[in-house]
Amino acid sequence: MFPQGSPKLKTSITMPIAKAITPMLDALAPKPKASLTARDVVEMNRTAILGALQKGYNFSDIAEKMVTAGVKISGSTLAHYVRDKGPTAQTLGAAKKKAKASSPQPKTSASQPAPAAMNQAPSPGYGSATPAKTQGARHAPAPAPQASRLPG
Protein backbone atom coordinates (compact mmCIF):
# COMPACT_ATOMS: atom_id res chain seq x y z
CA MET A 1 0.00 0.00 0.00
CA PHE A 2 2.80 2.49 0.87
CA PRO A 3 5.79 2.97 -1.41
CA GLN A 4 9.04 1.67 0.01
CA GLY A 5 10.60 4.09 2.44
CA SER A 6 7.41 5.94 3.35
CA PRO A 7 6.45 6.08 7.02
CA LYS A 8 3.72 3.86 8.32
CA LEU A 9 0.68 5.57 9.77
CA LYS A 10 0.35 5.31 13.51
CA THR A 11 -2.97 4.72 15.16
CA SER A 12 -1.84 6.47 18.32
CA ILE A 13 -0.53 10.01 17.77
CA THR A 14 1.52 11.44 20.58
CA MET A 15 1.79 15.12 21.52
CA PRO A 16 5.39 15.45 20.21
CA ILE A 17 4.27 14.16 16.80
CA ALA A 18 1.32 16.56 16.71
CA LYS A 19 3.52 19.51 17.71
CA ALA A 20 6.11 18.64 15.05
CA ILE A 21 3.57 19.15 12.25
CA THR A 22 3.32 22.98 12.51
CA PRO A 23 7.04 23.78 12.08
CA MET A 24 7.26 21.23 9.29
CA LEU A 25 4.40 22.88 7.36
CA ASP A 26 5.65 26.41 8.12
CA ALA A 27 9.03 25.53 6.60
CA LEU A 28 7.55 24.49 3.25
CA ALA A 29 8.53 26.66 0.28
CA PRO A 30 5.72 28.05 -1.89
CA LYS A 31 4.67 25.52 -4.48
CA PRO A 32 4.40 27.02 -7.98
CA LYS A 33 1.10 26.52 -9.75
CA ALA A 34 1.14 24.42 -12.88
CA SER A 35 -1.54 26.61 -14.44
CA LEU A 36 -3.45 29.72 -13.46
CA THR A 37 -7.17 30.30 -13.25
CA ALA A 38 -8.97 33.33 -14.68
CA ARG A 39 -9.36 34.57 -11.09
CA ASP A 40 -5.57 34.34 -10.64
CA VAL A 41 -5.02 36.41 -13.78
CA VAL A 42 -7.53 39.02 -12.59
CA GLU A 43 -5.77 39.23 -9.20
CA MET A 44 -2.38 39.63 -10.89
CA ASN A 45 -3.72 42.40 -13.15
CA ARG A 46 -6.11 44.11 -10.73
CA THR A 47 -4.38 47.51 -10.89
CA ALA A 48 -4.32 47.52 -14.69
CA ILE A 49 -8.01 46.49 -14.83
CA LEU A 50 -8.99 49.30 -12.47
CA GLY A 51 -6.95 51.69 -14.57
CA ALA A 52 -8.79 50.63 -17.71
CA LEU A 53 -12.11 51.17 -15.92
CA GLN A 54 -11.02 54.69 -14.99
CA LYS A 55 -10.15 55.32 -18.64
CA GLY A 56 -13.78 54.59 -19.56
CA TYR A 57 -13.62 50.93 -20.59
CA ASN A 58 -16.27 48.61 -19.19
CA PHE A 59 -15.87 45.04 -17.96
CA SER A 60 -16.98 43.57 -21.29
CA ASP A 61 -14.36 45.63 -23.17
CA ILE A 62 -11.64 44.48 -20.80
CA ALA A 63 -12.82 40.85 -20.93
CA GLU A 64 -12.64 40.93 -24.74
CA LYS A 65 -9.01 42.07 -24.51
CA MET A 66 -8.27 39.27 -22.04
CA VAL A 67 -9.94 36.67 -24.31
CA THR A 68 -7.77 37.91 -27.18
CA ALA A 69 -4.72 37.34 -24.94
CA GLY A 70 -5.85 33.77 -24.17
CA VAL A 71 -7.84 34.08 -20.92
CA LYS A 72 -11.36 32.69 -21.19
CA ILE A 73 -13.52 35.12 -19.18
CA SER A 74 -16.78 37.04 -19.61
CA GLY A 75 -17.46 40.63 -18.66
CA SER A 76 -19.80 39.62 -15.85
CA THR A 77 -17.29 37.14 -14.41
CA LEU A 78 -14.55 39.76 -14.60
CA ALA A 79 -16.81 42.23 -12.76
CA HIS A 80 -17.56 39.61 -10.11
CA TYR A 81 -13.88 38.84 -9.55
CA VAL A 82 -12.92 42.51 -9.34
CA ARG A 83 -15.76 43.34 -6.93
CA ASP A 84 -15.04 40.26 -4.83
CA LYS A 85 -12.25 42.01 -2.91
CA GLY A 86 -13.16 44.40 -0.08
CA PRO A 87 -10.65 47.27 -0.32
CA THR A 88 -10.59 47.14 -4.11
CA ALA A 89 -14.37 47.46 -4.23
CA GLN A 90 -13.92 50.91 -2.70
CA THR A 91 -11.38 51.78 -5.38
CA LEU A 92 -13.79 50.56 -8.05
CA GLY A 93 -16.57 52.64 -6.50
CA ALA A 94 -14.35 55.71 -6.72
CA ALA A 95 -13.66 54.96 -10.41
CA LYS A 96 -17.40 54.67 -11.12
CA LYS A 97 -18.16 57.91 -9.23
CA LYS A 98 -15.51 59.67 -11.29
CA ALA A 99 -17.09 58.33 -14.48
CA LYS A 100 -20.58 59.38 -13.35
CA ALA A 101 -19.36 62.86 -12.43
CA SER A 102 -18.31 63.42 -16.03
CA SER A 103 -21.71 62.30 -17.42
CA PRO A 104 -24.85 64.46 -17.16
CA GLN A 105 -27.16 63.56 -14.28
CA PRO A 106 -30.96 63.90 -14.35
CA LYS A 107 -32.13 66.69 -12.09
CA THR A 108 -34.68 65.99 -9.40
CA SER A 109 -37.05 68.49 -7.91
CA ALA A 110 -36.47 69.27 -4.26
CA SER A 111 -40.06 70.52 -3.92
CA GLN A 112 -41.51 67.03 -4.36
CA PRO A 113 -41.81 65.03 -1.13
CA ALA A 114 -40.34 61.58 -0.86
CA PRO A 115 -42.86 58.81 -1.66
CA ALA A 116 -42.84 57.43 1.90
CA ALA A 117 -43.64 60.85 3.35
CA MET A 118 -46.60 61.42 1.02
CA ASN A 119 -48.92 59.02 2.83
CA GLN A 120 -48.01 60.00 6.37
CA ALA A 121 -50.08 62.50 8.30
CA PRO A 122 -48.13 65.17 10.16
CA SER A 123 -47.82 64.77 13.90
CA PRO A 124 -50.33 66.86 15.86
CA GLY A 125 -48.94 70.08 17.20
CA TYR A 126 -46.05 70.20 14.73
CA GLY A 127 -45.93 72.30 11.62
CA SER A 128 -49.48 73.09 10.56
CA ALA A 129 -52.43 74.58 12.43
CA THR A 130 -54.90 72.63 10.30
CA PRO A 131 -55.77 69.08 11.30
CA ALA A 132 -54.18 66.30 9.29
CA LYS A 133 -56.27 64.79 6.54
CA THR A 134 -56.09 61.07 5.96
CA GLN A 135 -57.00 59.39 2.71
CA GLY A 136 -60.33 57.62 2.69
CA ALA A 137 -60.95 57.81 6.42
CA ARG A 138 -63.75 59.89 7.86
CA HIS A 139 -63.66 60.95 11.42
CA ALA A 140 -66.84 61.66 13.31
CA PRO A 141 -66.69 64.73 15.51
CA ALA A 142 -66.09 64.04 19.16
CA PRO A 143 -69.35 63.86 21.12
CA ALA A 144 -70.19 67.03 22.98
CA PRO A 145 -70.01 66.73 26.74
CA GLN A 146 -73.48 66.26 28.16
CA ALA A 147 -74.65 67.63 31.43
CA SER A 148 -75.78 64.93 33.73
CA ARG A 149 -79.52 64.89 34.17
CA LEU A 150 -80.70 64.71 37.66
CA PRO A 151 -84.34 64.26 38.38
CA GLY A 152 -85.75 67.29 39.72
- What is the structure's pLDDT at 33? 85
- What is the structure's pLDDT at 148? 56
- What is the structure's pLDDT at 54? 97
Please say if the pLDDT value at position 12 is more than 60: yes
11 pLDDT tier (thresholds 50, 70, 90)? confident
> At 65, which amino acid appears?
K
Is residue 46 within 8 A of residue 66, CB to CB? The reply is no
The reply to whether the predicted model has a pTM over 0.75 is: no
Cα 7 to Cα 18, 26, 50: the distances in Å are 15, 20, 50
> At 67, which amino acid appears?
V
